[in-house]
Structure formats: C-alpha cells, structure tokens
Structure 1
Amino acid sequence: MTDEDTDRQALRGELATATRILARHEMIGMFGHVSVLTDDPTRYLLCPGAGRRKDRCRPEDVLELGLDDTFDRGRPLELYMHAEMHRAKPHIRSLVHVHSPNLTALAGLAEPPGELLMIHASFWPERIPLWERPELVTDHDAGRELVEVMGDSAIALLRWHGAVIAGRTLKEAVFRTVLAEYHAGILLAALATGRPMAPVEVPRADLYAKVLPAATHEMNWAFESSFVELDG
C-alpha cells in the first residue's frame, strides 16, 4: 500500500467517525450528510445516503466521488452542494448538511437572528445567508447557487429545510455543526422571552481565534470520538 493509499484510508476513517459523531448528536440520520475533500482537489469523500445507519458508519461505507458525479442509488440525493463547494472553494475541506430541529426552526423565520449568545459559536455570522428556494439541492446548478449565497460565511440556512456548515478541516466542520445547533436553540429560547439581547462588542473573528483554535478542535474530536468507537 502506498503512502497515498494509507492517507486516503485514514481520511475514510475520519469521515466515518465524523458521521457517527453527528449521528450521536442527532444532527444526521435518515437525512443529512458530511463530506471532506481529498488531497486530489477533484475528488471528495461523502457519507452514505438515506436509508443507511449513520451511527454505524465504517470506513468501507464511505463513498468516494468526483466533482462531476451525479446522484445514484446509495448516494445522498443532495451531493451537489458538496461537489460545488469543494469545486469553488477547495480551502473549505468539509461541508455538513443537517435537518436538525433548532437550525430548521431558524430557517423558517422571516429574518433569522444574527445575534451571538455563546462565545463558542463566534463563527455565527452577523447576517445569516439564507437560501430562499424551499426545495432540495438536486443538481449542480442549484449547488452552485447555494455556494454563492453562502459566500464566506461558516453557515447558511435553507428555507424550511435546514442548514449547511463549512469548515477548513473536517474536525472544525463537525465541531461547528454541533455548536451551531446548540446556539440556535439558545437563540430561540432568548427570542421567546421578548427581551433585548446584549450586543457583542468584540469582533467575532478575534473571539473565534481565541476561543476555538485548532487545538480545541482536536480536543473536541478526541472527546467526541470516545463515544462512537465501534467494536470489531
């Protein structure tokens, strides 16, 4: 086995672990998916599609696709959002799509709130990009449109549908996804009080660099991985 083959197999293992972590948090299940770009910028790894047990995902279950590949049985129907993100922005190595309750609730609001109520969610944009088309992303054109709407934000909402979360690494994307759902729940609870929210005086990028450096992503990965180890 070449070094390249070894690295690819290790990346498959990481994506399988990421899939199980997100399943443990009920972020993905029947629906929802996560991808990571390989060292070959024309190819990416993707978790299995609907109908597969995401909480039991193993490296051999992970799919490897080219950027121009289309939907087929066993693949996520909305694989196009991953392909077009990795094509347009190869520095974004991982993308997660979820239908989780709190993020989906925000996607149903006329103006999703951009307030920051938790320092660990400081990747939250002041104005959240919103893809207004209440339909699935089922072709490359729709995938490109979603990527354009998302811009440089770490997260975008899909009207009545859910959210997509991006990361410069797989570990960053997974951590951001878990934190985004938690933060969305806090926002919904705060909105329900009807009381004003405190403004954040510190630039969010500076806060993110202080609170969520790469070392924190590694620590979170080790913590989360310990809950989803598979036997055999």
Structure 2
Amino acid sequence: MKIMVAIKRVVDYAVKIRVRPDKTGVETQNVKMSMNPFCEIALEEALRIKESGMASEVIAVSMGSSQCLDTLRTGLAMGADRGIHVEASGTLYPLSIAKLLKALVEAEKPGLLILGKQAIDDDCNQTGQMVSGLLNWPQGTFASKVVLDKEKQVATVDREVDGGIETVCLELPAVITTDLRLNQPRYATLPNIMKAKSKPIKKFTPQELNVDIKSDLEVLQVTEPPKRKAGVIVSSVDELIDKLKNEAHVI
C-alpha cells in the first residue's frame, strides 16, 4: 500500500508575522520558511505506518513555487521515499489544492491520503474534507490516534472533538487529517539529508494534471488585529464589577 502525504511550505511558526505595506498579504520576502507543523505530524505518521510494515511507500506532495522543493527535500530527509511537486504561481486556495490532490491520487492510487488538519498561515482547515468529498472516500479528521488493520483493510481513527474523543472506523482507501497530539515528528539526520538529495522528485503543472486552479475567492485586504489596550488595576471587587457592568458591558 502506498501512502500519500501533502506538505505545505509556510512562514516558520517562530517568525513574527508582518503585513505588507499595501495590505495585500503578509510579508514573505527574506522570511524563514519551513514545513507546516501539522504536515510534519502527517508525514511522521505515514513513516511510522511504513516502518510497522503496513505500507510499502510514502510519497510526499507539495504545491506552489519552485521554493517548495526545499520543503520536499526536508520531507525526503525525514524518510519519504519520493516526492511530487506541482509547480504553480500565485496563491493556491483549498479547493484548488483538493482538485490537484484528487488528480494525483487517481494517478498514483495510494491506499491512504494523510494531511495536516490545517496550515498555520491561513488556518482554513478545509483541504482534507474537500478532497475526501471529491474522491468520495471516507475521512477521519483531527486524528489523535490511527490504527490500521491490513487484513480487514480498515483504519480506526480517534478524533478530537468538542465533547472529547470520537472513534471512527474507515474502509480504505481513506483520507486522514492529523491533530497535534497524534505524534512527535522526528528530526532529519545528516545522513538522511544527504540521501534525500538523490531521491526522485517528479514535477507536474496543473495543466498536465488537467486541473483548473482558477479560484472564485479574492482577498480584498489584509490588516493587523487592533492593538490591545492597556489593562486597568482596580482597588476593590465592587469597582471591578462596576467596570464590567458599565464599561465593558459583559455582565
């Protein structure tokens, strides 16, 4: 069984985000970029499944500019067997990515598609659900535990929901999106980083996959959140209640 994992190149989680002066988006020039943390968890889970003997190959997929190759190489250094890069300019929205993933799945025929539940740059949390709908595959979102049964060809997924943990049983092939508590991603070792340079990366364009990536969405403006006002020290509980009632209007 093959496992396909989608990974995204995003602004590193430790970087302080700055909005561009023209308010068309956030600044990405000369900013440290890295693999989306949820995608790292997805890739780690795929590698663990392969190491347990439940899968034969892990394929890492990334979409975007040529700079995504660096992210793919990181995935290959972590242990993925080969990479696929769909080269596209401009912003790719969830539905476009889902359509591209559908085309790749139909070409590669994996038994499992694993994605991070969301990307930390847009927080859309939509791609996994959309590609599941396009493929008509069962989905297990927000996975905190994944157990595969190779004989029965099913995956048991513990999902983190508002009320606690929900367990679902999915017939393979299926789509799984990963939550933070699923695992702890490994670091790429120096020998594996060197090996990754010789691992194959196949390139496609949306046109070659026969996918129209034109989106109906348009970003009008990106602005920073309003600055937080300074706090006020009150001298008594009565004064606090008065301010909450008459100034904040929360009680």
TM-score scaled by structure 2?
0.28
CA radius of gyration, larger in: 2
TM-score scaled by structure 1?
0.29
Which structure has the highest strand share of the two? 2
